[in-house]
Amino acid sequence: MEINETLSEGLKRELRVTVPAHELDERLAERLQELRGQVQLKGFRPGKVPTDHLKRLYGKAAMAEIVEKIVAETTRSALTERGEKAAMQPQVEMTEDEAEANEILAARADLTFTLNYEVLPQFEVVDIKGVWIERPVAEVSEEEIEERMQSIGESGRSYEAVKRKAKEGDRVTIAYIGKIDGEAFEGGTDDNTPIVIGSGQFIPGFEDKLKGLKEGDEKPLEVTFPESYPAAHLAGKEAVFDVTVKEVAAPQEIKLDDEFAQRLGVESIDKVREAVKAQLESEHGSATRQAVKRQLFDALDDKHDFPLPEKLVEQEFDNIWRQVMHDVEHHGRSFEDEGTSEEAARADYRKIAERRVRLGLVLSRIGEEAKVEVTEEEMQRALYDQVRRYPGQEERVVEHYRNNPDAVQALRAPIFEEKVVDYLLELADITDKTVSREELFAEEEEEEHHHHDH
């Protein structure tokens, strides 16, 4: 076997591999010898089938297996011998000429193929010691707890039917048929929808028009779908809803007491309050962690600059862009609505893709050098969390991960990243800064809007 480098440009490599016909023939002879002891053919005693007969029956299939094996072996061994790591699985290019392929499968012609790949870049990891990080910390206030308690109370509020005209805060149960230009549209009909007036659960203007209606009333309500309505075929359209009021119900007073708690399946209202406080503390902790990670990633990004494998960047960009286009279509908004253009958005998201790839390579190298390991127990826990999300399909989910190395890697990657982050935060210089809840979450919302996080 002969391996020649035909391209070495930046991170790109191309190797041309030649396996002489006599080597293919030798490997075929070995394979046929193995088959001789395994196959049972009518008219021949076990192990006594002539080689020529075996070759006629199985030669082509056996050689196809051998070629596949050679390609896989060479892909692994060539990179190992060269001391290189491929950024992605190398692309294999073989002859597409049928006559030539048949000659190779008959071991009468040399097997030649090329391997195209990009190597992982070589770079020095910059010392993170002394990097200064300001950790925003927001205490959970009594007002926040009270606000969340009221929200829980609101979701559990009871209503009582009344024989009067509907007003703000009432729950009105209606049947309706929505029409555009006199034609009923898909998804615009229901015979039992409860709507709380003022909750904003229906399109703007609809709930206000329910005020003054009482049980048994029938009335056409004219409304206009907002331009930003998720269903693009309805966005901005004028519609008429033929409404029949089935019930008007008045809101009952919320009493946040032990009886209310027990309706939620909790022994006392104090226990509900404790759970609410713990939930809020967890939300604050997550937002603080995100802010700290962002500063750490910014520092890593600033300190490292090296060529990136184009294929990795392309793959990352494609993932991001697919999500962007899904959001654009789903929300019926254009790039112009966001004050940009598709071209400018592509350029921005490409930078984000480059940042993610750069940070991924840096974190991977740091974790490798620090010997950060993801344990079997951690992987089992992550798998269990996934399985729990699909009740009734547990076996299928487990099978998916058992047969899909990429899916397993997708489970492992975030655990590995968090452990590397923990390792780096031990080295960084961290100072706590007390902020309000609004400040803490304003930063997180801004981050989500810009998609900068790794």
The CATH number given to whatever domain includes residue 31 is 3.30.70.1050
Task: Please give the residue range of the domain that contains residue 102.
Answer: 2-118
Tell whether 34 is covered by a domain: yes
Predicted confidence band at 292 (pLDDT cuts at 50, 70, 90)? very high
Tell whether 137 is covered by a domain: no
Which residues are CB-neighbours of 275 under 8 A, at least 6 positions away?
A: 266
Tell whether 146 is covered by a domain: no
User: What's the structural domain count of the chain?
Assistant: 3
Domain end point (choices 221, 251, 281): 251
Residues 230 and 271 in one domain: no
Residues in the chain: 454
Q: Which of 142-146, 311-315, 329-333, 392-396 has the lowest mean pLDDT?
A: 329-333
Residues 213 and 284 in one domain: no
Q: What's 237's domain CATH number?
A: 3.10.50.40
- Indicate if the pLDDT at residue 134 is higher than 80: yes
Residues 95 and 176 in one domain: no
Residues 227 and 207 in one domain: yes
Q: Which of 44-53, 289-298, 315-324 has the lowest mean pLDDT?
A: 44-53
Residues 106 and 7 in one domain: yes
Tell whether 383 is covered by a domain: yes
Tell whether 65 is covered by a domain: yes
- Indicate if the pLDDT at residue 443 is higher than 80: no
pLDDT: which is higher, 78 or 228:
78
Residues 305 and 438 in one domain: yes
**pLDDT given at position 46:** 67
The token pair that represents 67 in the structure block: 């070629």
**pLDDT given at position 350:** 96
Predicted confidence band at 451 (pLDDT cuts at 50, 70, 90)? very low
**pLDDT given at position 305:** 94
**pLDDT given at position 442:** 85
Residues 10 and 84 in one domain: yes
**pLDDT given at position 452:** 44
Chain segment 342-388, per-residue pLDDT in tens? 899 999 999 999 999 999 999 999 999 999 999 999 999 999 999 99
Average pLDDT over residues 67-92: 92
**pLDDT given at position 129:** 83
Domain end point (choices 228, 251, 274): 251
Query: Percent of the chain scored above 70 by pLDDT?
Result: 95
Average pLDDT over residues 294-310: 94
**pLDDT given at position 234:** 85
Tell whether 142 is covered by a domain: no
Tell whether 147 is covered by a domain: no
Domain end point (choices 97, 118, 139): 118
Task: Report the DSSP beta bridge partners of residue 7.
Answer: 14
Tell whether 198 is covered by a domain: yes
**pLDDT given at position 296:** 95
The token pair that represents 351 in the structure block: 């930078």
Q: What's 348's domain CATH number?
A: 1.10.3120.10
Residues 302 and 183 in one domain: no
Residues 421 and 307 in one domain: yes
Average pLDDT over residues 325-343: 79
Residues 292 and 395 in one domain: yes
Chain segment 234-244, per-residue pLDDT in tens? 888 899 999 99
Residues 299 and 273 in one domain: yes
**pLDDT given at position 445:** 66
Chain segment 154-197, per-residue pLDDT in tens? 887 889 999 999 999 999 999 999 999 999 988 889 999 999 99
- Indicate if the pLDDT at residue 95 is higher than 90: no
Predicted confidence band at 36 (pLDDT cuts at 50, 70, 90)? confident
**pLDDT given at position 447:** 58
Instruction: Report the alpha-carbon distance of residue 139 to residue 236 in Å, rounded.
Output: 43
Residues 99 and 194 in one domain: no
